[in-house]
Structure 1
Amino acid sequence: MPHSHLISIVDDDEGVRSATASLVRSLGLRVQTFASAEEFLDSPQRDETACLVTDIHMGGMDGLDLQKAVRRLGLGFPILFVTGLASDRLRERALQGGATAFFTKPLDVGAFLSCLEDCLRGRSLP
């Protein structure tokens, strides 16, 4: 896996942000974390991002609104949602909005890491 890929993680829960960052770093990838969607959108790392991992339910702008903003900006990187408060409706909205994957907590670590690796290799996902 190339070490130059930057994975951006957006979650308002510091513990989840830190745990997800450690997990992604275990693949040897660069990680930048953000406490809010707005912080990510205002950062220079936004344009360096190879893949975005985000929660849906956050204070301020939620993950679905973040997804819309990213696509309006013309940023085509994959978006992986990880959420503890999932519903079929939210999953459908995320996937219809162009999300690559939608994971629920507790996270299936193997499936998540495999999906992330596939995204970075440019493979098509089901």
Structure 2
Amino acid sequence: MSAASVISVLDDDPYVRAAINNLLESRGYVVRTFASTEEFLRSTDSNDTSCVIADVQMPPINGIDLLTQMRAQGSAPPFIFITAFPDESVRARALKAGATCFLAKPFAASDLMQCLDHALAAGRENLE
């Protein structure tokens, strides 16, 4: 793990944001949390994030649309999707759009950390 890894957490549930924030900060990551995709896009953190962890179901721009929009603009941080409503068709859309992982809530901290390790490794490979 790089000390400079900035993880952006997007979820409209403040308890989910806080839990993920606490987990990741306890592991040494720099964490930025956002209540919406719009809030994330307005921030400068969208430009220097090492990985995005986003809820799939967020109004008005859902996580998959955010990923697609960022890819179209040339931004390619790895994405991990989390959702309380796991659906195979949504999972397939997320992975086809380029998501690294798709986790159903509630998920184990170890599963999120495994996804994050994989995502950051993939992100480093894309930079090389």
Give the TM-score of the pair, scaled to structure 1.
0.92
Write the distance in 1 (CA, Å) between the matches of 2:39 and 2:9: 11
Describe the SS at the equivalent of 2:50.
Answer: strand
Describe the SS at the equivalent of 2:114.
Answer: helix
Cα displacement (A) at 1:64: 1.3
Structure 2: runs of 5 or more not aligned:
none
* 63-72 or 43-52, larger mean C-alpha shift: 63-72
Q: State the match for 2:66 in structure 1.
A: 66
Contact 2:9 2:20 (8 Å CA) reproduced: yes
Write the distance in 2 (CA, Å) between the matches of 1:45 and 1:55: 17
Contact 2:80 2:119 (8 Å CA) reproduced: no
Q: State the match for 2:9 in structure 1.
A: 9
The code of the aligned residue for 1:62 comes to N
Q: State the match for 2:52 in structure 1.
A: 52
Write the distance in 2 (CA, Å) between the matches of 1:81 and 1:118: 13
Write the distance in 2 (CA, Å) between the matches of 1:114 and 1:101: 10
* 114-123 or 23-32, larger mean C-alpha shift: 114-123
Cα displacement (A) at 1:50: 0.3
Identical amino acids, percent of aligned pairs: 39
Write the distance in 1 (CA, Å) between the matches of 2:25 and 2:77: 19
Q: State the match for 1:36 in structure 2.
A: 36
Cα displacement (A) at 1:57: 0.9
Cα displacement (A) at 1:26: 1.8
User: What RMSD in Å do the two structures reach over aligned CA positions?
Assistant: 1.4
- Larger proportion of helix: 2
Structure 1 segment 107-122 matched on structure 2, within 5 A: 107-122=107-122
Q: 2:95 aligned with 1:91, yes or no?
A: no
Describe the SS at the equivalent of 1:91.
Answer: helix
Q: How many residues align structurally?
A: 124
Cα displacement (A) at 1:108: 2.2
Give the TM-score of the pair, scaled to structure 2.
0.91
Write the distance in 2 (CA, Å) between the matches of 1:91 and 1:118: 18
